[in-house]
Structure 1
């Protein structure tokens, strides 16, 4: 991975957005993370996340909501123009204060990432097997090149490709095959946390299902944590334990994945859910509905609740009063003044 720098600010105060930790510390805990580009453009604004070992967290939202910036920030893969403040605690150690040598040791071995654009992430002039073997050799001084190449072939078979494809160059593979190579590379060093940024974007539905089941099995067998980013709420609800919905750089709703998908408490979460068909549900025989407008420009965020210009149930106060995450029943939280009000006509819940 490419070396980057991060600027850390003063220690943030504890956020009310997450429940108090119980028992062992989480595998990953993000506290009040902010990412600003050019000193003035906030791409991520005060995000709090927690992932336990063996837990699968989904992150959803439209393009431009800050999901990929958040994913890259977790391993300090953003350009030097990005300023990061807050805390990113991986096994209790703050990624933002790690020295370069320690950060290199953590990447791939402690946490790895599956990038969305496989063709831009793979080196065009090296065989894919050598690229999978590279992090194995870097993180295990006792592994021989022959053993690393053998392991690369095993990983390719694990993600549904013949081991012989290790000798192929990226341009000789299809888009779906390249994405599977990226997944194999992310698994190479047995990381404790996997960050998957749209991991099945280039795959057909059959292979997508296989890859999702593979990732789920990995989490179950090796007790690793998973952060999966996707536009597809149905996939996240089926795959993940918990779901966080992002809008304009912030988490606006979080809770058990199936509950958030079926009965979102934030108007934006309900709009995202309504954009997907409910196949086989007699109560939802309606065409998917889109949400008018676009996410706001991070350089010109509206005042008050940033969703209020698109919100079908906005109050007058929403234009001036920002909303923090608040309790929404059970283990759910939503950043809406109407969080405990009955669902409005913009929602479509399913059982």
Structure 2
């Protein structure tokens, strides 16, 4: 899939973007979303999410937990074999019930996505400036080719690249530069929501830090909502306001990002946090600890709590009794039978 092929234009009568209905709903509200492949393989299982304008939500988990499937489901970019149920409300309008013309109008103009792997998402035989200009021309009936190209140059400068790089082909850019092009494309039609799927994958730490600061600044300056997906809990804790941890297609913990990273209530959240070094923290001089075992096969999920085969504190009942998200103190929820609400002053810890 390339960014250019997924950017199809609306009919002339369709208005791009999303109109704000009466009642001021959240920017994005996902209710009981399930994604099933082939009719039997559940990749996403009953996920609920909520994002306000200007809020940054992180989604973390190992490879295979359903993060990228969730990202693509938000704009119905999954293959036809995927069955989606539930609700995906963008400004109160359900993406899953939109007719095709309305859906094309909403993509890029109402919500956009920074795909994982910029080299594979950009069209190798078109200049990057033309690829940024394409959604502008498709979603703005008044745009001219010259005006769209000028806007592409402005967007490149906004993400820290010279406007002259619009004439470059993707292979002529570094990995960090290509990622900046993808971010510029995501901003081309002034969306209210940006979904960033592993935006810093395969970048060195210096470029990664630059990209993360850029995303943070753009969200703050333009008051857009952000969903950032990554396996790196430390990056999400430093970048996002809230954090949802996924395992086997479900959210098993959610709450203020720094609280979840520092004091996860679910054993899986604690294991993810322990897998990353705490550089500069004199109280933590231990080596990172890995989590034994592998995520379960979605086609053969274990009974009860799906994490129990790898859980160091599992009870006998965990093999037969599934757990729903429950209050875990400090505006947090976790899907674990061992979760107990902490003392009142613990809930006042800094988020």
* Structure 1 segments (4+ residues) deviating >6 Å: 1-23, 341-351
Partner Cα distance (2:204, 2:278) in 1: 20
Distance apart, 1:210 and its partner CA:
2.1
Deviations 1:165-209 (A, max 9, x none): 111111222222222211110011110000000111133222222
Extract unaligned runs of 5+ from structure 1: none
Contact 1:12 1:86 in 2 (8 A): no
Give the 3 Å change call, closer, same or farther, for CA 248–20 of structure 1 in structure 2. Answer: farther
Does the 8 A contact of 1:11 with 1:86 survive in 2?
Answer: no
> 1:7 touches 1:84 (CA, 8 Å); kept in 2?
no
Distance 1:167 1:17 in 2: 28
More off after superposition, 212-221 vs 82-91:
212-221
Q: Which one is further off, 161-170 or 341-350?
A: 341-350
Alpha-carbon distance in 1 for matches of 2:80, 2:242: 32
Whether the 8 Å CA contact 1:8–1:83 is kept in 2: the answer is: no
Do the aligned partners of residues 15 and 64 (structure 1) sit closer, same or farther apart at CA in structure 2, a change above 3 Å counting? Answer: farther
Give the C-alpha shift of residue 129 in structure 1.
0.5
Contact preservation (8 Å) 1:110, 1:193: yes
The total of aligned residue pairs comes to 351
CA contact (8 A) 1:15 1:31 kept: no
Query: Where in structure 2 are the equivalents of 1:164-175 lying within 5 Å?
Result: 164-175=164-175
Cα distance change on mapping 1:219 and 1:244 into 2, 3 Å:
same
* Structure 1 equivalent of residue 71 of structure 2: 71
Q: What is the CA deviation profile of residues 14-33 of structure 1, one whole-angstrom value per residue up to 9, with x for unaligned ones?
A: 99999999983100000000
CA distance in 2: counterparts of 1:164 and 1:239, whole angstroms: 30
Assess if the C-alpha contact under 8 Å between 1:233 and 1:272 holds in 2. Answer: yes
For the Cα contact (< 8 Å) 1:27–1:53, is it kept in 2?
Answer: yes
How many Å apart are 1:349 and its aligned residue?
Answer: 12
Unaligned runs of 5+ in 2: none
1:225-261 deviation digits (Å, cap 9, x = unpaired): 0000011111111110000000000000000000000
CA distance in 2, matches of 1:123, 1:94: 30
Q: Is the 8 A contact 1:6 1:84 kept in 2?
A: no
Does the 8 A contact of 2:8 with 2:104 survive in 1? no
What is the RMSD computed on CA atoms of the aligned residues?
A: 6.3
Judged with a 3 Å threshold, the aligned counterparts in structure 2 of structure 1 residues 193 and 38 are, in CA distance, closer, same or farther, namely: same
TM-score relative to the length of structure 1: 0.90
* 1:216 shift after superposition: 1.3
8 Å CA contact 1:10–1:85 kept in 2: the answer is no
Query: CA shift at 1:13, angstroms?
Result: 34
1:249-296 residue CA offsets vs partner (Å, 9 max, x unmatched): 000000000000000000000000000011111211000000001100
CA distance in 2, matches of 1:304, 1:19: 42
Q: Indicate the larger mover: 327-336 or 201-210.
A: 201-210
Question: 1:115 aligned to 2:115?
Answer: yes
Contact 1:6 1:82 in 2 (8 A): no
Task: Please state how far the C-alpha of 1:330 moved relative to its aligned partner.
Answer: 2.8
Moved more, 219-228 or 270-279: 219-228
The structural deviation recorded for 1:143 is: 1.4
Q: Which residue of 2 aligns with 1:204?
A: 204
CA distance in 2, matches of 1:45, 1:26: 22
Range with greater deviation from structure 2 (300-309 or 152-161): 152-161
CA contact (8 A) 1:43 1:66 kept: yes
- Give the TM-score taking structure 2 as reference length: 0.90
Tell me by how many angstroms 1:8 deviates.
22
Residue 205 and residue 111 in structure 1: after superposition, are their counterparts in 2 closer, same or farther (change >3 A)?
Answer: same
Measure the CA separation in 1 of the matches of 2:295 and 2:157.
40
SS, match of residue 157 in structure 2: helix
Return 274-283 or 337-346, whichever deviates more: 337-346
